Amino acid sequence: MSTLAIGEAIASLLRDGLPVRLEAFDGSVAGPDDADIRLELKNERGLAYLLTAPGDLGMARAYVSGDLVVHGVHEGDPYEAMRLLQNHLRFRAPSPLEAVSLLRGLASSVGLTNLLPAPPPQEALPRWRRTLEGVRHSLTRDAEAIHHHYDVSNRFYELVLGPSMAYTCAVYPTGEASLEEAQEEKFDLVCRKLGLQPGQRLLDIGCGWGGMVRHAAKHYGVQALGVTLSREQAAWAKEAIDADGLGDRAEVRHSDYRDVLESDFDAISSIGLTEHIGVKQYPEYFGWLHDHLRPQGRLLNHCITRHHNEVTSTGQFIDRYVFPDGELTGSGTIIAAAQDAGLEVMHEENLRRHYAMTLRDWCRNLVANWDECVAEVGVGTARVWGLYMAGSRLGFERNEIQLHQVLATRTEDGVDGFELRPHWRP
């Protein structure tokens, strides 16, 4: 079998032609000469990644390792390249004989001994390997999944997230609002929906770096307890609480929420946690929340959802590089699970477009602080974050993923504790 030019092979599978310029290490090219975006496949390892893990995982491996270089965009924000590729790359399905011929021809270009290169060090184990080492969504395995994603570097997160250190969807009061203004509005919206009053007790599960805990304690006078599975987040949050002089009203623990012994909370907020727990765990999760609220106590559940109610994984790239064991479904499934646990759902809101704007601003921060981010975590990890955030932005813009806030209460004897009309609008 003679070798096959890489550019020729890839172009032959595209229905509408290649919208970007592809330059491969074998000297072959494809796509328009004047394209604004240029892909450079630098070596055999990059091609082996593409051959052995077709789809988003193979592309991610090649990109993160530096074997596939995207010219025309910044590594911290490849959004424009991804948008163009998603809009114009439509692969036709080759016949079985054609597929075999293409694979053999390309394989002969790299040599069979190079077809299984080790994945980049940023990649987590595949799900089946994780399952062999621990039961999915056990306390131990959940802690390891959170460690993989969140214990990267507090300084890195400061550079990307900005002063708020809020790694969840912001709420933009206007299209011109800054990221910090939008994160402040998000925390305040949650406080308003929960109807927080001075002296009440708030539990914030999956509290991250303590932004919600500090905001509620400072502006609403509550006793706020936050828990996170990330040791790095808990340490950062304690320092921030002390710096704000909130030590008598706010606390962040390095703990699983299931280990919280206190109960009878006036309010519970869960901002960005539900994505990690697994849909099969929803009954246990919402049951736990119900049992830890006082009568008429309120729950605000804020999480990424699908635009449908099927249970779907997050995709191979997200699972291996970003959210190991992550799982998404629609807001209807979340509402049903809350209701089945005995909670009365009072309100839900979709903030999909707000998350696209949030991701846009995080990418801008990554680009602005690129050199320091690379120095802090390495260029491969920085590329992972640029790729992940730009791709997620596209997902929210295209309505492939959404962000829902679901507000519920522990109604007792028909008493829900709510006013006749919502009071949380500004």
Interval 104-119: pLDDT, tens: 666 666 554 556 789 9
Q: Are 201 and 222 in contact (CB under 8 A)?
A: yes
Helix (H, G, I), strand (E, B) or coil at 307: coil
- Residue 145 CA, chain-centre distance (Å), reads 13
Query: What is the distance between the alpha carbons of residues 42 and 68, in angstroms, rounded to a whole number?
Result: 6
Residue 192: predicted pLDDT: 98
At residue 244, the pLDDT reads 97
Which residues on neighbouring strands pair with residue 350, listed in sequence order?
404
What gap in Å lies between CA 88 and CA 90, rounded to an integer? 6
Q: Six-digit token pair at 147?
A: 């460690």
Note the pLDDT of residue 144: 55
Q: What pLDDT does 98 receive?
A: 63
List C-alpha distances in Å: 353 to 51, 357, 385, 393.
35, 7, 20, 9
Rounded Cα gap, residues 224 and 150, in angstroms: 22
Task: State the virtual CA torsion across 166, 168, 172, 173 in degrees, nearest 10.
Answer: -80
Residues in the chain: 426
pLDDT at res. 141: 47
Give the side-chain half-sphere CA count within 13 A for 239: 8
Q: Single out the residue of 187, 242, 184 nearest to residue 213, CA to CA.
A: 187
143 closest CA partner among 250, 224, 238, 257:
257
Residues with pLDDT less than 70, the chain? 1-4, 13-15, 54-55, 87-115, 127-151, 426
The encoded tokens of residue 164 equal: 């708020």
For residue 362, which of 394, 378, 385 has the smallest C-alpha distance?
385
Domains and CATH numbers, the chain: 6-114 (no CATH), 140-409 (3.40.50.150)
